Amino acid sequence: MTQTSPDVAPEPAPDEPQRAGTPTALAAPTPWGARAESLRARVLPWLERLPRFAVVFLRVVVALAAAGAIGTYLVLGIIHLRFPFEIEWMEGGLVDEVRRALAGQKLYVKPTVEYVPFLYAPLYFYVAAAFSKVLGVGFFSARLVSYLASIAGIALIARIVHRETGGKHVALLAAGVYAAAYPLSAGFFDIARVDSLFVLLLLAALYVARFGRSTSSAVAAAALFTLALLTKQSASVIFVPVAAYLVLTEWRRGLVFAASGAAMMVGSVVVLDRIHDGWFWWFVFWLPRQHPWVERMWVDFWLEDLMRPLSVSCLLALFYVMVDRRVFTSGDARAAAPGDARRDAEPAAHGSAFALSFRSGRYFYLFAAAGMLGASWAGRLHAGGWPNVIMPGFAILAILFGLGVHAAIVAAAELSEPRRHRVEAFLLVLAAVQFACLAYDPSRYAPKSLDAKAGEHLLDKIRQVEGEVFIPAHGHLATLAGKRSYAHEMAIADILGIKGGPAGADLRADIEKAILQKRFGAIFSDTDFFKKEIQQAYRQEGKVFEDKKVFWPVTGFRVRPERIYVPKSSGSAGPSLPRR
């Protein structure tokens, strides 16, 4: 009898049923099991790649949002360039000041009913005058300066972020955030105001201060800060912390920057003040300091102006300036970093450890943000400070937004691939939320054709007046109608609102005299400006507009000419405007 080997299991008899526990490896799988296994094999790789796909999708979404914000602003700017009347109530007054600069007249003189300068430094007016010499004096040339400056500012924000990170995507996002902040500035990016030129000069100064390494670059940065000061006086608030940073990190270059900047700023102020017989200092520096503070802006600036619309940017800015990314990043990642970021991470051949730690880009932007946000805060605290004064703050927060997104992605680089992609997707969702918070209806800032028609009808009324007209809040309308303009109501209020000393008393007397002596053939009034004196010498002839919806500025103080006053005549109804 043949014995079975102990290592070989006996085969069951053909008719014997298989016992429980007998291996079934050779048994064919059920149809449902095969399908499930096939589906799992096909779906599982897609599920594993889902975070990566989400990142790609979100990168496209936020890039489109940024590009859309930039494109929307560019289109609005072109619409504004073509509009022949004021988009904001002070635009005409600034155009009149540009005309004065082009004529070679002094910008800062004793205030009279004929002319009162605004509280701005002179550079914007002379740049706009240069454009006007080629393109003609008017809203187009004055707005074009701001429009081109704003575009250059958007591009420079992108350039700074790209230079720091090497990433085009985050550079686009940073530029998009600034463009999307257009309504937060009350739409002042592209109008005939000084702000966009001011921001451009500040950004250029920060760029040279950050990336330059020679003493000549320090002088160039100081010169740019001086030009910014000659555009808007709050540049000095930003110059001080940047100078402090450079002295701490590169003391020789920092001292050159601080000394040359102080010399150029003080020297230019002294020269301009002498040219204008003391009135430059009086209008640009003394008078603004006499205005009261807006107490609520001590807190509302941070909560309402910044945190409410820009909470994501603020959080990413805090992350960038407060978290040392080298804690998260390996040596290999630092070696792969773009040139300027790698330069900050590498040990210096000379210099103290203190200077090395401060040489990091995050400390530069911490000091720059202190200046830019500090200047914006001071502007809002100042009575009459409109949201346009926050534009330097919007610019630095846009830069820190881009740098913060990049820094957070770098910080997550050490995580495993699925987790890293989830973190990046989360950051991109935050970026999308930021753009959603900044979304606005662009038609709100587009003047209508009916406004232009109403403006032409108003010019016809002004032309019909015999003699000169006084339009306190919109004096440039008289210029458009072929007559001369007089002092702007806002410039007058800046002086009379704080009494203005002897100059203010003389100005008030000059205006009262002109009104009571019936110097003007008509007064087009829109507020209670010298209402008592006007009603003493003039009578109301009628309303300017029948339609309550037309000819309102699309931004800024909402005011338009409302009532027409003509001189009273003793014993008669007085002269009337011709009717059509």
One DSSP character per residue, 375-414 reads HHHHHHHBTT--GGGGHHHHHHHHHHHHHHHHHHHHHGGG
d(CA 119, CA 516): 28
Residues 373, 418, single domain; the answer is: yes
Which of 426, 445, 464 is the last residue in one of the domains? 445
Residue 415: DSSP 8-state: S
Residues 262, 404, single domain; the answer is: yes
Six token digits for residue 568 = 């009273």
The reply to whether 455 falls in a domain is yes
Residues 475, 387, single domain; the answer is: no
Residues 380, 485, single domain; the answer is: no
Which of 417, 445, 473 is the last residue in one of the domains? 445
How would you class 466 by CB atoms within 10 Å of its CB: exposed for 0-12, middle for 13-18, buried for 19 or more?
Answer: exposed
Six token digits for residue 261 = 């900047």
Length of the chain: 580
Q: Which residues contact 69 (CB under 8 A, 6 or more apart)?
A: 176, 177, 179, 180, 182, 435, 438
What are the Cα distances from residue 210, in Å, to 29, 177, 238, 286, 406? 68, 22, 14, 32, 18
Residues 437, 457, single domain; the answer is: no
The reply to whether 338 falls in a domain is yes
Residues 225, 346, single domain; the answer is: yes
pTM: 0.85
Residues 364, 503, single domain; the answer is: no
Helix 391-411 crosses helix 168-180 at what angle (to 10 degrees)?
A: 150
Cβ pair 247, 258 in contact under 8 A: yes
Residues 506, 420, single domain; the answer is: no
Cβ pair 228, 194 in contact under 8 A: no
d(CA 538, CA 536): 6
The reply to whether 95 falls in a domain is no
d(CA 399, CA 402): 5
Six token digits for residue 248 = 């701490």
The helix (H) or strand (E) run that includes residue 160 is helix 139-165
Which of 445, 470, 494 is the last residue in one of the domains? 445
d(CA 502, CA 543): 36
pLDDT 10s digits, 53-98? 888 899 999 999 999 999 999 999 999 999 999 999 999 999 999 9
> Scanning the structure block, which residue is given the tokens 């096909």?
42
How would you class 470 by CB atoms within 10 Å of its CB: exposed for 0-12, middle for 13-18, buried for 19 or more?
Answer: buried
Residues 495, 563, single domain; the answer is: yes
Q: In degrees, to the nearest 5, what angle opens at C-alpha 232 toward C-alphas 230 and 238?
A: 100
The reply to whether 84 falls in a domain is no
The whole-number pLDDT of residue 55 equals 84
d(CA 289, CA 301): 19
Helix 139-165 crosses helix 391-411 at what angle (to 10 degrees)?
A: 20
Q: Which of 529, 510, 497 is nearest to 287 (CA)?
A: 497
The reply to whether 65 falls in a domain is no
Q: Which domain, by its residues, includes 429?
A: 119-445
- Structurally, the chain folds into a number of domains equal to 2
The reply to whether 28 falls in a domain is no
pLDDT 10s digits, 118-133? 999 999 999 999 999 9
The reply to whether 21 falls in a domain is no
Partners of 92 in beta bridges: none
The whole-number pLDDT of residue 8 equals 46
Q: What percent of the chain is helix, strand and coil (3-state, nearest 5)?
A: 65, 5, 30
Six token digits for residue 473 = 């809040």
d(CA 430, CA 434): 6
- CB burial of 430-439 (b: ≥16 within 10 Å; e: otherwise) equals bbeebbeebe
The reply to whether 99 falls in a domain is no
Residues 235, 271, single domain; the answer is: yes
Residues of the chain with pLDDT under 70: 1-51, 324-360, 570-580
Residues 212, 238, single domain; the answer is: yes
Residues 240, 382, single domain; the answer is: yes
